[in-house]
Structure 1
Amino acid sequence: MHWAADRLIFFTRGRPYQKNDQATVESKNNHAVRKFGFHYRYDTADQRAILAALWQVVGLKLNYFTATKKPTGWTQDASGRRKRLYDKPKTPYHRLLDAGILSTAQQEELAAIYRRINPAQLTRQILTYQDRLISLAKDKTLTIAADLDSKHQARQKRRTTGIRTKAS
């Protein structure tokens, strides 16, 4: 990474030959990864361990307590504009129960997990993990960002001054 950073090379994660894909990747990242894990750089074993614990807790919050609405179809208003129709918001846990595809044992197992979870405690755990990640990664990330910014400014300055030639 240092080699790439020294040369002002930035990595992106888009699919090849899909020029409009980056926005999709970032919108998916923003849903959970950027919202809960922020934009900091995590590259040590301690940070990865904290991230793994964070994702476990975030998964419980998103699957058991975060309701989502799903598109069900389209309709038209009086002026002929298409409008998306959505169902009632439900958590993924409740959608799974309503689907009727689980055995009784699986339903009981999920219900037991649901009863054990305290939403307030879950939120406190998320905040604790986030605070630990910030304290471990903030300085390093800001140092890298400042270094890249200073290199970028130097590069821009070279561009604006142009090529110097010896006056005759």
Structure 2
Amino acid sequence: MHAVVRAFSKQYRHAGKNEKSHLLNRLCRTIGYSRKHLMEILSNPPEARKRKKRIQQSQYVRIIKSLRTLWAVSNYACGKRLKPLLSSLIAALRRHKELVVTPEERKLLLQISPATIDRLLTHDRKRINIKGRSRTKPGSLLKHQIPIKTWADWDNAKPGFVEIDSVHHCGSSLNGEYIYTLDLVDVATGWNECCAHLGRGEYRTIAALDTIKGRLPFPLLGIDFDSGGEFVNYHLLRYCDKNHITYTRAREAIKNDQAYIEQQNYSVVRRFVGYQRMDTEEQLKLVSRLYELLSDYQNFFQPVMRLKTKIRDGAKVTRKYDKALIAYQRVLKRKDIPKETKQNLRERYKKLNPKRLLLEITGLGRKASKR
């Protein structure tokens, strides 16, 4: 009732005699108070009672420090990507004595939900939004000889069909020769490899592709690239024919045709190497070493979510993703990958320390960015 009185008190105090009488009659009928009592409380309305909030300490307070460590080692993955990674990440860090947790804390870490992870890390999360320069120039000589393949054609790809792109480390100036990164991602498994080379020459691009080809845990069966001149040339055409590699190209200026690799360009290359200009042999050695370590970190400790369905209802688009899995896990699940390859990957995984890898990668990135 006090809430009703407070709602009408201001109106009562500023009303005339007749209006006050009408208001009193109305309230008497509504709430049953006497006129005398109503006149008193409308002139001096009672203050609203402040409800005391019962502050209950979250059970996850005790694991927030460990969660921050795991989040940092995962390179600040979101809750939906971090949650499936926690079990293997905790095991890897404990194996290398980089993390100490009690059985109770481990249980809490494994039962925490993605939403709770994001909520607990709200104040720690910072977004970085940096834009770089595009340096892709279309090659025109062989366009009519290279078939176009769009994003929709990759739905049921098997391991070995990849998207590739060239990332330019030119900084703010496009003059002179500088370092390029050949970035590759396997569509079926999300396996990612990078190789740095100095200059944009066709032979160097092919040499970088050949280096990556030797690192893949499965045969290279097909490549899809944009219309850049480093890819649309006779040298790459002959290389693909010689190695029985299918080659296709994306449509010009349609980035969704290469959605997988365009995402990797930022989340992998730019995130660890940055946008600074790099044009020396010393920087090339540092970046090359960085990519060797990054291959282990990215493919064994970075979960990826794949788009399952995309439904458009007018202006509303609903996307559904599968469970976040590491590329290593996706390779192990494939029936078309030899058992020997899987066993080699398991042995390689056991030797890896994700925290040490990330520290070395970030250290190399800082050194390479200093000229």
Instruction: Name the TM-score, length of structure 1 as normaliser.
Output: 0.63
Alpha-carbon distance in 1 for matches of 2:361, 2:327? 19
- Which one of the candidate residues 135, 138, 150 is aligned to 1:12? 135
Q: CA deviation at 1:31?
A: 2.3
Structure 1: tracts of 5 or more residues without a match: 1-9, 137-168
- The equivalences for 1:1-168 within 5 A come to 12-14=135-137, 15=227, 18-19=252-253, 21=255, 28-75=264-311, 81-136=316-371
Alpha-carbon distance in 2 for matches of 1:118, 1:84? 34
Cα RMSD, aligned residues only: 2.9
Q: Secondary structure at the match of 1:112?
A: helix
Query: What is aligned with 1:5?
Result: none
Structure 2: tracts of 5 or more residues without a match: 1-132, 138-226, 229-250
Q: Secondary structure at the match of 1:121?
A: helix
Please give the per-residue CA displacement for 1:90-127, whole angstroms capped at 9, x wherever unaligned.
00000011112222211110001100100011011112
Alpha-carbon distance in 2 for matches of 1:57, 1:39? 20
Q: CA deviation at 1:41?
A: 1.0
Please give the per-residue CA displacement for 1:48-89, whole angstroms capped at 9, x wherever unaligned.
010100111112111110001001123578x99441111100
Q: Secondary structure at the match of 2:303?
A: coil
Structure with higher Rg: it is 2
Q: Which of the two has greater strand per residue? A: 2
The runs of at least 4 consecutive aligned structure 1 residues that moved more than 3 Å come to: 14-17, 24-28, 74-77, 79-82
Q: Which of the two has greater helix per residue? A: 1
Q: Secondary structure at the match of 2:336?
A: coil
Provide the aligned length of Structure 1 versus Structure 2.
Answer: 125
Alpha-carbon distance in 2 for matches of 1:54, 1:29? 15
Q: Secondary structure at the match of 1:106?
A: helix
Alpha-carbon distance in 2 for matches of 1:42, 1:87? 38
Alpha-carbon distance in 2 for matches of 1:64, 1:26? 21
Alpha-carbon distance in 2 for matches of 1:119, 1:27? 22
Alpha-carbon distance in 2 for matches of 1:50, 1:83? 42
Q: Percent identity?
A: 21
If asked which structure has higher relative contact order (CA below 8 Å, sep 6+), I would say 1
Q: 1:117 and 1:30, CA in 2 relative to 1: closer, same or farther beyond 3 A?
A: same
